[in-house]
Structure 1
Amino acid sequence: MTDAERHQLYYERREEQERHLATHAGSPEGRIVHLELADRYAALAQDRGSDRRSRLTIRV
């Protein structure tokens, strides 16, 4: 497995985990944060082959 494949797998798993956490969040704010993180990980998984690096920033 290449580094790029490992990174993509990691980002896909983290996206899945964040969506699960959003489903079980105790507050609407927690749900929003976890969904935003899931979206960021999904974007990172798509960008895995490019030179561009996405940032994991959350705007509050």
Structure 2
Amino acid sequence: MASHISPLFGTHCFFLTNLSYRNQTETPSLASHHLLIIVVVIFIFSVFIFSVFILIFV
């Protein structure tokens, strides 16, 4: 189970650092707004994937 979660977590960290680095050129409010939306979308997507894994394995 952990082998499925850790690659997802690493990918999310990579995307977040990449987005925060890319958004430094924009205005701070716009960058934080985009980052907040991305974090929420990734969180919902993670919960969806996690529930699918539980349905498959249980």
State TM-score, norm by structure 2: 0.48
Greater CA radius of gyration, 1 or 2? 2
State TM-score, norm by structure 1: 0.47
Larger helix fraction of residues: 2
